Amino acid sequence: MARIPAPVLVLCSVVSVQFGQALGKGLFDQVGPGGVVALRLSLAAAVLLVAVRPPPPRGRGEACLVLGLGTAIAGMNLVYPALVYVPLGLAASLQLLGPITLALLSSKRLRDLGFAAVAGLGLWLFHRPGDAEYAWAGVLLASASGVSMAAYLLLSRRAGAGAATAAPLAWALVWAAALTVPVGVAESGAGLLAPTVLLGGLAVAVSASVLPYSLEFAALRRLPPRTVGVMQSLEPAAAGAAGALLLAEYPSPFQWLALACVGAASAGIVACGDSRTGRRPGADGPAVPRGGGGEHRPGGGPAHGV
């Protein structure tokens, strides 16, 4: 992945996550949201354990970081029960409140605040006052997922600083699975082991966890979490497309305009990169020369664990 531009890795991750979540919502009738989360995280953890073969965490500090990262991953999966009450596009928009707030709090450049404001306008357009009413349970669950996403962005940066591989991510997924599998078992029981359900769960795990985690693990070696957080404003656009194509959830004209706003915000962040050095706007570390970002660099780490 060293030769692929870091923004491209993030954008591919965004698309993969949202289509994976749409596939997961399609399994609700069989195992419910708790079952989907249990399958997604347990199967993703199993895949990464086999692929990475991570050594155990070293010391109390690394173990605590893995626990914190895994807890944040489990929290981000609150977006699945939120999908019982709200459409995928709105859930993704509300989820982005966490990363956008993180971007605003950490920004040192006026133009970054402007891009975040455009993304915020998109969020407002998607759920304008007077539009269709949605259950508060869905709004609160999606917002809590966004808070967890902001925490994940910060913790993943620290996790990547001391690891050249995805070992912290693999163990964090194991912990997230340990937190959520009991809920899924209580909700669906032996239904989780049906062959068709396992196959669907594997598709969700790969598309919504393993692939995006791997892509963003590589991307955050070259991008700061603030930049990734604002770039993830493309997620409502990807979610709108996934909802329309896979779930027959069709956004209104104003909601499509909202998706265009958040897409423009992400495009602005990408366009303002320094083409000579590969540094992103406001990067908080040394620039990465073009074509030289494949090695481990302090401050890298995974970014997404919805």
Which candidate, 95, 108, 103, places its Cα nearest to that of 143?
95
Q: Is the pLDDT of residue 176 over 90?
A: yes
Q: Is the pLDDT of residue 34 over 80?
A: yes
pLDDT band at residue 305 under the 50/70/90 scheme: very low
Left, alpha or beta for 282 (phi > 0: left; psi -120 to 50: alpha)?
Answer: left
Report the pLDDT value the prediction gives residue 206, as an integer from 0 to 100. Answer: 87
pLDDT in tens, 239-276: 888 988 888 888 778 777 877 787 777 667 655 644 33
pLDDT band at residue 80 under the 50/70/90 scheme: very high
Mean pLDDT of 143-161: 80
Mean pLDDT of 59-78: 89
pLDDT in tens, 85-109: 888 888 887 887 777 777 667 666 7
Six-digit token pair at 149? 């996403």
In which element (H, E) is residue 157 found?
Answer: helix 136-161
Over pLDDT 70: what percentage of the chain? 76
Measure the CA–CA gap between 284 and 181, rounded to whole angstroms.
Answer: 37
pLDDT in tens, 228-238: 766 766 777 88
Mean pLDDT of 26-43: 91
pLDDT band at residue 277 under the 50/70/90 scheme: very low
Report the pLDDT value the prediction gives residue 37, as an integer from 0 to 100. Answer: 93
Best-predicted range by mean pLDDT among 60-64, 111-115, 129-133, 225-229?
60-64
Which candidate, 194, 243, 223, 256, places its Cα nearest to that of 18?
243
- DSSP of 10-79: HHHHHHHHHHHHHHHHTTHHHHHHHHHHHHHHHHHHHHHHHHH-PPPP-HHHHHHHHHHHHHHHHHHTTH
- Match 């173990």 to its residue by tokens: 63
Report the pLDDT value the prediction gives residue 144, as an integer from 0 to 100. Answer: 93
Q: Is the pLDDT of residue 36 over 90?
A: yes
Report the pLDDT value the prediction gives residue 63, as an integer from 0 to 100. Answer: 87
199 residue type, one letter? L
Classify each residue of 96-123 as buried b or exposed e, where b means 16 or more C-beta atoms within 10 Å of its C-beta.
bbbbbbbbbebbeeeebeebbebbbbbb
Radius of gyration of the chain (CA): 18
Mean pLDDT of 154-180: 78
Report the pLDDT value the prediction gives residue 164, as an integer from 0 to 100. Answer: 55
What mean pLDDT value characterizes the chain? 77
Higher pLDDT, 301 or 70: 70
- What are the residues whose beta carbons fall under 8 Å from the beta carbon of 190, sequence distance 6 or more? none
Which candidate, 127, 35, 56, 61, places its Cα nearest to that of 90?
127
Report the pLDDT value the prediction gives residue 295, as an integer from 0 to 100. Answer: 29
C-alpha torsion angle, residues 184, 188, 189, 192 (rounded to 10):
-80
Mean pLDDT of 45-72: 86
Question: Residues 88, 33: contact at Cβ < 8 Å?
Answer: no
C-alpha torsion angle, residues 101, 103, 107, 111 (rounded to 10):
-100
Measure the CA–CA gap between 290 and 292, rounded to whole angstroms.
Answer: 5
pLDDT band at residue 127 under the 50/70/90 scheme: low
Q: What is the pTM of this model?
A: 0.76
Report the pLDDT value the prediction gives residue 77, as an integer from 0 to 100. Answer: 92
Report the pLDDT value the prediction gives residue 291, as an integer from 0 to 100. Answer: 27
Residue 256: burial class (beta carbons within 10 Å; 0-12, 13-18, 19+): middle
In which element (H, E) is residue 117 found?
Answer: helix 110-126
Q: Which of 43-57, 102-116, 193-207, 252-266 has the lowest mean pLDDT?
A: 102-116
Q: Is the pLDDT of residue 26 over 80?
A: yes
For CA atoms 61, 67, 70, 72, give the dihedral sign: negative
